[in-house]
Structure formats: C-alpha cells, structure tokens
Amino acid sequence: MHRDLLNISYSEETISACVRGLGQRLAAEYADKNPIFLGILKGSFVFMSDLIRACDFPLEVRFLTASSYGSSTVTSGNVSVSGAPGTEIAGRHVIIVEDILDTGTTLAKIRDMLSAQNPASLKICAFLDKAECRRADISADYVGFTCPAAFFVGYGLDYAERYRNLPYVGVLKPEVYE
Ligand code: XMP
Ligand code: MG
C-alpha cells in the first residue's frame, strides 16, 4: 500500500469484480443500442478503460473535461466544462461515466447541458457514489460502490494530480493535504 494512504478501501480484485458486474448490467440494457459512453475527464479514464472492456457489445467512447476542484479536497462549486459533444448526441443513447459522484454539482450541470441536445436516453454510471454528500438533485443509475464521505485517491482519482495510477482505491491521510 502507498504510504500516503490510511487504508485500501477497494482492492484491485474487488474493483475488477465490480466492473465486470457493471458490464453485465449494462449489456442487459444496451446490447442493441450502440450507446455513447461519455467519460468526464480526467478522473474517469481508468474506470472507463476497464468498463468498456467489460462490455461485450457495440459502443462508442467520448470524453469531456470538467473541473471544479483544483488542488483542494473540497468542491469549489464552480464547474467549468469543455469539449462537450454537440448535436452529435441527438437521438443517441448516452451513458455518462464518472469517477465519483460527490455533491453532484458537476454532474447536474453536465446532465442539463447534455439533455438540451436531445439524446434518446441519458444515464449515469459512477464508479463511486458519496451518496451522503449529495447537494444537487441527481443520482446515478449504475453505481460501482456507495462510499462514505472520505477523500479517496487511486484508480483515476487524484489529489493535486497525484495517485491516479494506483491500481486500488484508498483514503488519503489527512496530513497529506492539511
Ligand atoms: P461534485 O461535488 O461536483 O464533485 O459531485 C465531483 C468531482 O469532484 C471530485 N471528487 C473527488 N476526487 N477524490 C477525488 O480524487 C474524492 O474523494 C473526490 N470527491 C469528489 C471528482 O473529480 C469528481 O468528478
Ligand atoms: Mg479530480
């Protein structure tokens, strides 16, 4: 385990079993729909790469970039979005792929922006769901793990751009960011 972590919350093996299960659930819904998996960068890129390989049906991948955190562990409330798909998602089945749903501010903004483009359907697949921290009126349709209100890193999740490459997820020691 990395020495900046308090624990390993989700091991590589636990994550891999979880993602396989998500792939099967998505197949039941989307196998004949050629959906667009729309990842929110940067945090979702590791989850996305495992998730699509757990999905044995035709699909497309796109990404957009959202930033709200900077180097803090508390949401700034200011969300900026770039690279958003335009009319190309009209009539398509879209699954937003997110690393972690926290207050929901980021995803609520992205969801409203995408809904305006008239997709055939719009759902959310979040690797982690900090359900107790929710402030915006939003929930994920597919959730890897419901997690407590700690600050997690690894498996794409960063603190100040670090730790994304850890193959597991753990809680960062508070002294690292205090
Ligand atoms: P909101 O509050 O808008 O935030 O739902 C979602 C975004 O905040 C980041 N976030 C985290 N990043 N560990 C991280 O590395 C965490 O525990 C954490 N909680 C929130 C993340 O970028 C997410 O997209
Ligand atoms: Mg981040």
CATH number (domain holding residue 71): 3.40.50.2020
- pLDDT number for residue 150: 94
1 domain residue, yes or no: no
The contacts of residue 161 (CB under 8 Å, 6+ apart) are 71
Which ligand has the minimum distance to the alpha carbon of residue 147? 1
In a domain, 163, yes or no: no
**Residue reference for tokens 């079993």:** 17
116 in a domain, yes or no?
A: yes
**Residue 72 pLDDT > 80, yes or no?**
no
Ligand 2 mean position, distance from CA 78 (Å): 13
Find how far residue 140's CA is from the centre of its chain: 10
Residue range(s) defining the domain that contains residue 113:
12-148
Instruction: State both tokens at 95.
Output: 């699954």
Mean pLDDT score of the chain? 93
Residue 102 annotated as catalytic: yes
Q: Identify whether 42 is part of a domain.
A: yes
Whether the predicted pLDDT of 70 surpasses 60:
no
Confidence label for 75 from pLDDT (cuts 50, 70 and 90) = low
Ligand 2: centre distance to CA 31 (Å): 31
Residue closest to 146 by CA, chosen among 134, 133, 136, 131: 131
Q: Which of 102, 112, 137, 158 is catalytic?
A: 102
Q: For residue 18, report the distance from its CA to the centre of ligand 1, in Å.
A: 20
Most ligand 1 atoms within 8 A of CB, residue of 69, 76, 145 to mutate: 69
pLDDT for res 79: 73
Amino acid 61 reads V
Residue 5: left (phi > 0), alpha (psi -120 to 50), or beta? beta
> Domain tally for the chain?
1
Is the pLDDT assigned to residue 100 strictly greater than 90? yes
In a domain, 61, yes or no: yes
- Answer for the pair 154, 172: CB distance below 8 angstroms, yes or no: no
Grouping H, G, I as helix, E, B as strand and the rest as coil, residue 157 is strand
Q: Is residue 92 part of a domain?
A: yes
CA distance 72 to 139: 24
User: Band of the pLDDT at 89, cuts 50, 70, 90?
Assistant: very high
Tell me, yes or no, whether 44 lies in a domain: yes
Percentage, residues of the chain above pLDDT 90: 85
In a domain, residue 4? The reply is no
Q: Point out the ligand 1 atom lying closest to the alpha carbon of residue 100.
A: 23
DSSP state, residue 15: H
Pairing of strands 60-67, 142-146: unpaired
- pLDDT tens digits, one per residue of 38-68: 999 999 999 999 999 999 999 999 999 987 6
Q: Per residue in 113-140, pLDDT tens?
A: 999 999 999 999 999 999 999 999 999 9
Kindly tell me the sign of the dihedral angle through the C-alpha atoms of 111, 115, 117, 123: positive
